[in-house]
Every structure is written in structure tokens, then in C-alpha cells.
Amino acid sequence: MTTGEPSRAQDAAGEYWDALNQGVPRPVVPDLDPSLANIIDRVRTLDDARSPDLDFVTRLEQQIMESSASTWFDLSVSHTTLTSSANGHREGLRMPLSLPRVDRPGRHWMASLVTAALLLLTLVAGYAAFGGALRPRQQDNMLVAIPAIEATPAPGVTAEEELLVVALPAEALPHAGRVILGLLHYTIPPTAEGTWPPAQPATVCPDAGCPGMELAYVLEGSVTVTAASPLQVVRGDGRGEAEPIPAGTELTLGPGDATLRPNGTAADYANAGATPA
Amino acid sequence: MPNRLQIPLPATGRASPEADLDEADLVAIAKRDRAAFASLYRRYVEPVYRYCDRCLGNRDAAEDATSLIFTKALAALATCRDDRFRSWLFTIAHNVIVDMRREQQPWEPLTAAANLMDGTRQRSPEALALATDDARTIQVLLAHLSADQRDLLELRLAGLTDAEIARSLGRSHGAVRTSQYRAIARLRALVSTSTLAKETSDDNR
């Protein structure tokens, strides 16, 4: 040891303070110099740092949580255009999904645009806001048009690219209540696994697993998905054909692949690759 | 063995489902559902604010720093290891404090304390003791330490263990313990000097 101080004495002082910070009222630490313990106690006693005002704590929480909720889009009546279908055909919901595009060659823009690679777009519903404006009997003849999602422009972002367009059947749409669209980015580290439970964003769908659809789109990397419910997969090969997948089937997704499944069901996601997905 | 990130689903209708979750679970949930970050905020806003107040000695500055710390934490939450949230949060806090100290004029108690140790002023032991009595706060004591030692003890007073401090400051556990030992020994010497001077002063009256 080059410091000149006895290592045990250093450890003892550290252990004593650790124990105090962990709530032990009078720790007994062998080899601790009582005068050092006395100084530690004295320093703690002298700590006169003030607590925050309750108003400040409340205000800051509101500010932080409001900013964090900005990726949830409330598609209540005021944001939704309801029109009758011209030919009576049940057209359902069309969701153009766009992301800002960075002015860089190839598709590497994605890596710098978002650290996340797995993008989950979830359409969920509550039961309050639509009220009589969207009664189930009328819904068969209505087209719900939802504006494209546009991320906040970042430096270097010069254009947008449409990643995927999905037409949802009317039956998949919420039949009443508040309609909410959420756009979430996730990164799955190499070798990591995770279970995606039924969606339960506490601020928007507190009472039950939210009905609706979940669209997952892989930006980069490789992800395996095993869902508890049947799902559809759209491969990123440009054909745009949806392939039905039975429940419990392990599915490997690559960049550009997407899945569509009921929102209120669980799925296991895993990244068996060597790079983040 | 792969990492397993099993995210428990809070049961419906519970008043405070996060109360039963340990911190790593809360962090994992908050990464998916930002609304859950509120639980982490409520858990740490007090120690973070007190840390800022201790370091900056000014309510407005402490509020600004606290706001900045939690905003940065929420924005970077995906980079936090689930089981190391506290040390990660205080890494952010420490960096914010360092930046704000650079921008801030020295606040009064620190200036006063620095004057106590200014050798050019040739203060007598008695004057030192009396002055220390007048302003015997944690800031006065910490002002006698090196910047590294002060950083360390401020995190100690925020409730961190020395292993967490090592992670927060990017130092080894052994280096933290050595520095901490020296800081405590330094304070012991200072208090002994002050006490001796005070006793001498009292005896001469």
C-alpha cells in the first residue's frame, strides 16, 4: 500500500459510514478508531441541508411527467376526423407511420436518429371521451383518419421517410371511449430478453389492459418474438404481404420487419444477436 | 446466461402498486412506461434536492439543479442499469453541480470558510475557533477539504455507500475509501485544533 494509511482503518471508516447510511443506528465496526467515528457522527449531525418546498416538488413532478407524456397522442374527437365512407365499404383505420430522416447516405440515418431500434406503435382505447360521437352502429360506416406521426426535428434532419402503412380492420378499433396513440422506442441490448405485458400506461389506461392494436417495427438488429396471441408479420422485403403467425410461434424479425397483434396480450422479446436491436 | 428483464405488471386497482416493487423493477418499468418515472422521482427528489442545497447553498440554485437533474435522468433513463439507479442518478447530479459551480459566484459561507484557512490572514487559533463557532455548519467544515474530498463527503451525506460513490465519481472503491479516510482525518484534526483553541481562550479569560 502506498498511501501510508492502514488499509483496515480505511475500510473500517467506510464500513461504519455505509452502515449509518443504510439505517443502522449505532454500527459496531471492529478496528474503527472511536475518534473517527465521532467525527463521522458529528459531520452527519451538522448536515443542515434543507428539504424542498412541497410546491416545488409538486410543480416539478407535473412538468417532468407532462414532458414525458408527450409521445402519447390523444386522439379524442377534437383530433380525429370522422367521415362517412363514400361506398359504405368498411375501410378501417389507415396509419401512415413516418419518422424524420437524417441527411446521410444509405439507411444508417436510423442509427443516429434514435438509439432505439425496436419501435412500438400502440393504439389503445379508454372508455370515456368519444361518448355519443362514435356509437358502435355508426362506426361501420366511418373512416377514422389519423394524422401522420412526426417526430420532433433534430439537427441534421431534412426529410421524412414513410416506414409502413397499415390498414386496420374496423373490428380492431376501439368502439367507445378515448382513443390514444402511443409511439415508443426501445433498445434491446445483446443477449437480453424481456416480456412485454398487456399495455398499462397508468396515466392513460389505468383500469384494464387497453384494447386496440400494437404495431412493432424493427429499426435495426434482430429480435425474436414469441406472442401469446396470433399475430401478423409484414416482412421488410417490400412485398407488403401480411403473414399470419399462430400463437406461441417463435418469430425472428430483422430490420424493416413489423408485427401487428392485439394490444392486450403478452409477448416475449429477445435479442440473441451481438448488437443492440 | 442472458439478462432476464421480467417486467411485472402492476395489479389493477391497487392504490400504489410501485410500493411493493424494488427499485430495479421500477427502473425497468419506467423505461417502458415513462409515467412510472414519477415513483422514482418521488423517491429521490428529497435527497437530490438536499444534495443540491448542500452543495450550492442557495434555494433557487438547488431548485434549478434538481429540475435539471431529473430532466436529464428521464431523458437518459434507457442508459441506466436497472440495479444501479441511485449511483447513476447521483452521477448526473454531481455533473450538474460541477457545471453550476463553475457558473456560480462563490456563495458566502464557502467564502467565509475559505478565509478561515487563508494563511496570509494570520488568524490566531482563538480567532479561528471563534469564527468556526460562529459558522459551524457542514459547509464550513467541507470548505477545509480538497475538492475531491468535498465531492465525496457531499455524496456520503446524500446517503450513498462508498461503492455507489465510487461509481458516481468514476473512481475505484479503494480510492474512495482512501480519500474518505483522509477527509475524515483532516476534519478530526481541524476540530481538535478548534477545540484546543477554544479551551485555551476560555482558560485565559
pLDDT in tens, B53-80: 999 888 999 999 999 999 899 888 888 9
Chain B's closest residue to A273, CA to CA, is B2
Please tell me the distance from the alpha carbon of residue A45 to that of residue A38, in angstroms, as a whole number: 10
- Nearest CA among A246, A214, A251, A248 for reference residue A230: A246
Chain B's closest residue to A204, CA to CA, is B35
Do A67 and B157 make contact, defined as CB atoms within 8 angstroms? no
Assess contact for A57 and B63: CB atoms under 8 A. Answer: no
Q: Which residues have C-beta within 8 Å of that of residue A269, sequence separation ≥ 6?
A: A118, A188, A193, A194, A195, A196, A223, A224, A225
Assess contact for B65 and B98: CB atoms under 8 A. Answer: no
Assess contact for A39 and B130: CB atoms under 8 A. Answer: no
- Chain B nearest C-alpha distance from A180 (Å): 14
- Chain B nearest C-alpha distance from A133 (Å): 28
User: What pLDDT score was predicted for residue A95?
Assistant: 38
**Smallest Cβ distance to A46: which of B3, B67, B141?**
B141
Model confidence pLDDT, tens digit, residues A151-209 = 444 444 445 667 777 766 666 666 655 566 666 777 787 887 777 654 444 444 544 45
Q: Quote helix, strand, coil % in chain A, to nearest 5.
A: 25, 30, 45
Q: What nine digits make up the cell of A209?
A: 389492459
| Range of weakest confidence among A2-6, A92-96, B80-84, B200-204 | A92-96
- What domains sit in chain B, N to C, each tagged with a CATH number? 17-104 (1.10.1740.10), 107-205 (1.10.10.10)
Contacts of B71 in chain A (CB under 8 A): 64, 67
**Smallest Cβ distance to A65: which of B38, B49, B67?**
B38
Do A65 and B34 make contact, defined as CB atoms within 8 angstroms? yes
Model confidence pLDDT, tens digit, residues B115-131 = 444 443 344 444 444 44
> Which carries the bigger pLDDT value, residue A179 or residue A228?
A228
User: What pLDDT score was predicted for residue B49?
Assistant: 96
What rounded mean pLDDT belongs to chain A?
64
Contacts of B60 in chain A (CB under 8 A): none
List the beta strands (DSSP E) in A63-112: 72-74, 81-84, 93-102
Longest Cα separation, chain A: 89
| pLDDT band, very low/low/confident/very high, at A109 (cuts 50, 70, 90) | very low
- Chain B nearest C-alpha distance from A88 (Å): 39
User: What pLDDT score was predicted for residue A126?
Assistant: 31
Q: Is A85 helix (H, G, I), strand (E, B) or coil?
A: coil
Using a pLDDT cut of 70, give the percent of chain A over it: 51
User: What pLDDT score was predicted for residue A170?
Assistant: 65
**Smallest Cβ distance to A43: which of B9, B10, B153?**
B153
Neighbours of A219 (CB within 10 A): 22
Residue A24 vs residues A18, A21, A47: alpha-carbon distances, Å: 9, 7, 18
**Smallest Cβ distance to A191: which of B2, B137, B141?**
B2
Residue A23 above 70 pLDDT? yes
| pLDDT band, very low/low/confident/very high, at B196 (cuts 50, 70, 90) | low
Interface test with B, best of A46, A118, A204 (most B CBs within 10 A): A46
User: What pLDDT score was predicted for residue A210?
Assistant: 62
- Chain B nearest C-alpha distance from A74 (Å): 15
Give, in degrees to the nearest 5, the angle at Cα B131 between B192 and B138. 70
Q: Which residues have C-beta within 8 Å of that of residue A223, sequence separation ≥ 6?
A: A117, A118, A188, A252, A253, A269, A270, A271, A277
Residue A253 vs residues A166, A207, A235: alpha-carbon distances, Å: 17, 32, 8
Residue B186 above 70 pLDDT? yes
Q: Can you name the residues that pair with A164 across neighbouring β-strands?
A: A97
Please tell me the distance from the alpha carbon of residue A268 to that of residue B170, in angstroms, as a whole number: 35
Which residue carries 417490400 as its cell?
A: A238
Do B66 and A69 make contact, defined as CB atoms within 8 angstroms? no
Do B138 and A47 make contact, defined as CB atoms within 8 angstroms? yes
Q: What nine digits make up the cell of A132?
A: 355519443
DSSP-assigned letter for residue B169: H
Rounded to an integer, the average pLDDT of A234-241 is 78
Question: Residue B184: left (phi > 0), alpha (psi -120 to 50), or beta?
Answer: alpha
Q: What nine digits make up the cell of B67?
A: 429540475
- Nearest CA among B75, B49, B65, B70 for reference residue B100: B65
> Which carries the bigger pLDDT value, residue A211 or residue A114?
A211
User: What pLDDT score was predicted for residue A14?
Assistant: 92
- Nearest CA among B92, B91, B97 for reference residue B171: B91
Give me the amino acid identity at A185. Answer: H
Please tell me the distance from the alpha carbon of residue B27 to that of residue B82, in angstroms, as a whole number: 5
Residue A89 above 60 pLDDT? no
Q: Where are the domains of chain A?
A: 7-46, 71-270
Contacts of A194 in chain B (CB under 8 A): 5-7
C-alpha A243 chain-centroid distance: 25
| pLDDT band, very low/low/confident/very high, at B177 (cuts 50, 70, 90) | very high
Residue A9 above 50 pLDDT? yes
| pLDDT band, very low/low/confident/very high, at A233 (cuts 50, 70, 90) | confident
**Smallest Cβ distance to A187: which of B49, B78, B188?**
B78
| Range of weakest confidence among A148-152, A191-195, B195-199 | A148-152
